[in-house]
Structure formats: structure tokens, C-alpha cells
């Protein structure tokens, strides 16, 4: 092990500053903690400082932050790494800003909302990659190599491909195969790996995107590591096309008052993962194997695992994402989620009509896994039987993009009755949730086929996200 990885430069600089017991005549206004009445917040406040001498400058790092940045890059095998204190979204926005307005970028249709805001900021033009929707699960898992290859052939002007891997459900895309296709075209592969920050520290977990040929990767460190909320990182490989512009975009987007507790938590988490991450992840991996088997022995319940790799767009899965469906129970995932929360004081990450998603951490002990198992064991005993099937959601139609997200965002808009929107350009998004795949995004043409689909989801009384008027009696359009 690289002995320098045991150092935590940012945390050590904070401790050195505290040891001098300075009279803090600088920001923030809580004066180092005394401004808080609650003791817990006073402790946090003692680490919450500003960029005084000895604590470096996030925008022009030369001391502790620069040293910690280099250590983070080495830990992840990156050429360069940047601390993100505005969350992973700011890293995605910065990557989009390395391209020029009207540059074509392949993006998944069901990408995180930060993709759309990144396209609004940058002015790039999206070419959407369709995602395969799994109606039995109400989820869309990812994109395939064939889809990317086909779209690159149809759109030779594309400058980059931006994919998500792993998905929210822990499934990973064929990043290595996509990287080969992308690099054959001489363009960039960018990966939103927000939920995969721990992959780099244990071989039993999916291969990190950076090790599979990605040119840039965003990790939401706080999602899976011992890092405070909003703590994330942007990792750059040697072949990245414009690091100078990326640094400018990063500085443009990043607060000038960065949170030192967040920075220190990233610094300390990197030390922990290098020194103890493998053993901690091994324990979690073994617990996952053990309890997936136990859960699958419960009647009426199915815990997904190796069967996920049977889908073409899935190469592997995160063993700490526990996706459970209830094909043999007379209760929905929502009812079971309610039971878990109200009767057993267990709050899972997500509940939907056909499934629940539990995000286990490497810090959950056997007793925690057993608690979830016992709760589901009791619930399955009560709800044996089958419930009526819910409405099957049809696939959204392929979009016709007439305006870039930026142009659509800037354009004047007006509300019109849905029946009068045929041939208009959408001014807002419409998505059935779950699975959250947009049927319509701002800047897209409302065709006959698309209008028919909007009437279908309106008639089906499915849950809709996006429009101001959720009943879809009217819709916002571009007022051309």
C-alpha cells in the first residue's frame, strides 16, 4: 500500500488550525461553533471554517487541498481528481460545459435530472439512447453496446457519449464494450457513476468505469462511502479532451465558500477505503450473499441478484443494492414499504408498486440484515396470495428534438389545452413515474403519436411528473 495514503491533508490542516485556538474574526458567522445552541452543531462548527492561511483554496489549491486531490486521484487510478462539494450534479454540469453549444452528445433517455440541467447550461444537443423498460419491475436498467453503436453510425457528428453506470438499482452497463466503440470514433466516453464510488476497493464488486475505459467519471461519494451529503468527486483519465476547460467550468460552478467538513470527510473516507475498505466490503459482500439466499426462501418474495445479468444491458450488479419484488403476495411494494416503516421502523430507499429497494451499506452489521429479513419474513406470512395486476405502462414513443434544452429553457412559453397541442413544441417535461422515462422533454415536437401516448397515460391515471398541470388537461408549449 502507498504509505502516503494514510495521510489526510485537509483534516490534518483543520486540526492544526484548531490546535492554535485562534480568535476567529472571519467567516462563517457562527464564529467556529459558539453561534450554535445545540452541542452537536457546535462540534460541527469547530470544523466549519473558511479559506484562511494554512487551509488552502479550493479554486487555486497549492497546499492541503492540492495534496489531498493527488491522493484521491491515485486511490481511484485517475490522472486528475476534483473535489465536488455541490454534489455529483456539479461534476455532470462541468463535463457538459467542456463541449460547445450545438455539439451532439448521446445521453440515456432516463438520465438523472442533472443531465438535463447540464444541457441547459451548456447548450449541447442531445441524441437520446432508448432504455429498455422492464414492466415486471417498473424499472429501466441501462443501455446496450448495440444501441450506442447504432446511434454513432447514424450520428457521425457526435462529440461524446454520456451513460449512467451503475443504475439507481445497482446494475452496471457494458462500459468496456461501449468505451471501445466510442474510442474507435475518436470521441469521449463520460460516465455518471454516482452510486459506484466503492467499486474501486474490492474485486467482487463491479469493475469501476474508470478502469473500463471511461474518459471521465463522476462519483457521488456520499451515496456509498462515509462522506457527508453533497460530497462527491470528478475523476479524469489521461485521454480526457480538455482538462483546462474542465477546470474553468468547475470553478465557474463551484461555491467560493466550500464546506470544509465535507472536504475533510472525503479526505478521511479515502484513507479509510485504502486501509480498511477491502475488508469492510468483503464483510458486506458475504452478508449480501447470505441474506439474498434467505430472502429468496421466503414464499411470495423474490430478491434479485445473478438473474439481473440475464438482461442484455446488464453486465454486473452491486451486491449492496437489495431489489425485492413480491410476485406471490397480496400486497403491493408500497404497502410493504409502509409496513416496514410503521411497524418495524425500517426505512428503505425506495418503494414502488411492484418492488422495494433497500440500500445496504458496508457499515450495516449482520444484526441490521437480520432485522430486515425478520420483518419481511413476518410480512410475507401475513400477505400470502396474489393481488390484481396494475396497469402495464406502454413504452414512450421516440422523441423528435427540435430545440436544444437550452433554447427550450430560454424560449417564451404558454399554457394550452392538451387537445390543441398537436404540432407544437413542448415547453415542459412529462414522465410516468415509475419508471421515470420522459415521454416528453422541453424542445420536443408533440406529434400525433406522442399526443396519443399522452392521452393514454392521462386515461390510465398513472402518476405523472413534470407538468405544471398534473392532470394533463393542459400543457406548457413554446410560444413561437
Q: How do residues 306-338 score in pLDDT, each as one tens digit?
A: 999 998 899 999 999 999 999 999 999 999 999
Q: Are 128 and 107 in contact (CB under 8 A)?
A: yes
With H, G, I as helix, E, B as strand and everything else as coil, classify residue 271.
helix
Round to whole Å and give the CA distance between 49 and 47: 6
With H, G, I as helix, E, B as strand and everything else as coil, classify residue 428.
coil
Residue 281 phi, psi (nearest 5): -70, -35
Q: Which residues of the chain have pLDDT under 70?
A: 1, 135-136, 389-394, 434-435
- From the options 3.40.50.300, 1.20.1250.20, 3.40.47.10, 3.90.100.10, give the CATH code of 405-478: 3.90.100.10
- Burial state string for 14-49 with b = 16 or more CB within 10 A and e = fewer than 16: beebeeeeeebeeeeebebbeebeeeeeeeebbbbb
Given this model, what pLDDT does residue 432 score?
82
Residue 218 parent element (H or E):
strand 216-219
Given this model, what pLDDT does residue 434 score?
65
Alpha-carbon separation of residue 51 from 17, 44, 54, 57, 229 (angstroms): 11, 17, 8, 6, 20
Q: What is the dihedral of CA 263, 172, 207, 350, to 10 degrees?
A: 40
Domains 3-273 and 405-478 share a fold: no
Question: Strand ranges (DSSP E) for 18-114?
Answer: 80-84, 104-108
Structure-block grid coordinates of residue 411 = 424560449
Strands 350-351 and 413-417: unpaired
Round to whole Å and give the CA distance between 200 and 187: 25
> Cis omega (within 30 of 0) on the bond before 229?
no
Residues 6+ apart with CB under 8 A from 439: 396, 397, 430, 431, 432, 450, 453, 454, 457
Round to whole Å and give the CA distance between 363 and 321: 14
Round to whole Å and give the CA distance between 213 and 228: 29
Round to whole Å and give the CA distance between 9 and 32: 20
Given this model, what pLDDT does residue 392 score?
58
Structure-block grid coordinates of residue 296 = 429468496
Round to whole Å and give the CA distance between 141 and 435: 10
Given this model, what pLDDT does residue 344 score?
98
Given this model, what pLDDT does residue 175 score?
98
Structure-block grid coordinates of residue 354 = 411492484
Given this model, what pLDDT does residue 390 score?
61
Round to whole Å and give the CA distance between 228 and 246: 24
Global confidence as pTM: 0.94
DSSP 261-283: HHHHHHHHHHHHIIIIIHHHHHH
Round to whole Å and give the CA distance between 204 and 210: 16
- From the options 3.40.50.1820, 2.60.40.10, 3.40.50.740, 3.90.1150.10, give the CATH code of 281-382: 3.90.1150.10
* CATH 3.40.640.10 holds for 3-273: yes
Q: How far is CA 301 from the centre of its chain?
A: 27
Amino acid at each position: 500500500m502507498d504509505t502516503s495514503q494514510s495521510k489526510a491533508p485537509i483534516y490534518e490542516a483543520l486540526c492544526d488550525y484548531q490546535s492554535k485556538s485562534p480568535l476567529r474574526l472571519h467567516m462563517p458567522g457562527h464564529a467556529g461553533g459558539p453561534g450554535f445552541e445545540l452541542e452537536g452543531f457546535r462540534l460541527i462548527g469547530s470544523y466549519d471554517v473558511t479559506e484562511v492561511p494554512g487551509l488552502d483554496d479550493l479554486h487555486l489549491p497549492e497546499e492541503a487541498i492540492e495534496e489531498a486531490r493527488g491522493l484521491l486521484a491515485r486511490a481511484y487510478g485517475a490522472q486528475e481528481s476534483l473535489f465536488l462539494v455541490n454534489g455529483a450534479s456539479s461534476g455532470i454540469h462541468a463535463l457538459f460545459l467542456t463541449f460547445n453549444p450545438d455539439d451532439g452528445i448521446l445521453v440515456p433517455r432516463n438520465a438523472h435530472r442533472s443531465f438535463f440541467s447540464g444541457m441547459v447550461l451548456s447548450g449541447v444537443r442531445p441524441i437520446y439512447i432508448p432504455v429498455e423498460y422492464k414492466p415486471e419491475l417498473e424499472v429501466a436498467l441501462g443501455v446496450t453496446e448495440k444501441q450506442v453503436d447504432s446511434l454513432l453510425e447514424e450520428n457521425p457528428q457526435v462529440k461524446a457519449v454520456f451513460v449512467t453506470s451503475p443504475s439507481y438499482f445497482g446494475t452496471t452497463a457494458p462500459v468496456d464494450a461501449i468505451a471501445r466503440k466510442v474510442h474507435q470514433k475518436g470521441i469521449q466516453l463520460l460516465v455518471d457513476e454516482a452510486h459506484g464510488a466503492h467499486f474501486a476497493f474490492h474485486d467482487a464488486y463491479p469493475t469501476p468505469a474508470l478502469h473500463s475505459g471511461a474518459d471521465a467519471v463522476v462519483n457521488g461519494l456520499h451515496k456509498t462511502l462515509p462522506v457527508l451529503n453533497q460530497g462527491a468527486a470528478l475523476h479524469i483519465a489521461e485521454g480526457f479532451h480538455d482538462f483546462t476547460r474542465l477546470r474553468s467550468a468547475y470553478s465557474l460552478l463551484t461555491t467560493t465558500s466550500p464546506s470544509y467538513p465535507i472536504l475533510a470527510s472525503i479526505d478521511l473516507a479515502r484513507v479509510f477505503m485504502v486501509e480498511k475498505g477491502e475488508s469492510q466490503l468483503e464483510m458486506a459482500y458475504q452478508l449480501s450473499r447470505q441474506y439474498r439466499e434467505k430472502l429468496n426462501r421466503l414464499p411470495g418474495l423474490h430478491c434479485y441478484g445473478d438473474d439481473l445479468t440475464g438482461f442484455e444491458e446488464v453486465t454486473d450488479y452491486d451486491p449492496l443494492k437489495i431489489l425485492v419484488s413480491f410476485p406471490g403476495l397480496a400486497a403491493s411494494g408500497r404497502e410493504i414499504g409502509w409496513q416496514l416503516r410503521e411497524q418495524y421502523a425500517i426505512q428503505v430507499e425506495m418503494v414502488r408498486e411492484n418492488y422495494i429497494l433497500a440500500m445496504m451499506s458496508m457499515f450495516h452489521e449482520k444484526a441490521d440484515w437480520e432485522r430486515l429479513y425478520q420483518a419481511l419474513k413476518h410480512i410475507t406470512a401475513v400477505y400470502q396470495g396474489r393481488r390484481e395486476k396494475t396497469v402495464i405502462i406502454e413504452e414512450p414513443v421516440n422523441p423528435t428534438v427540435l430545440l436544444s434544452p437550452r433554447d427550450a429553457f430560454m424560449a417564451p412559453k404558454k399554457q394550452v389545452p392538451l387537445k390543441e397541442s398537436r404540432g407544437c413544441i413542448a415547453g415542459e417535461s412529462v414522465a410516468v413515474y415509475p419508471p421515470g422515462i420522459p415521454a416528453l422533454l422541453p424542445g420536443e415536437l408533440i406529434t400525433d403519436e406522442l399526443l396519443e401516448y399522452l392521452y393514454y397515460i392521462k386515461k390510465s391515471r398513472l402518476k405523472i411528473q413534470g407538468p405544471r398541470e398534473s392532470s394533463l388537461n393542459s400543457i406548457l408549449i413554446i410560444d413561437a
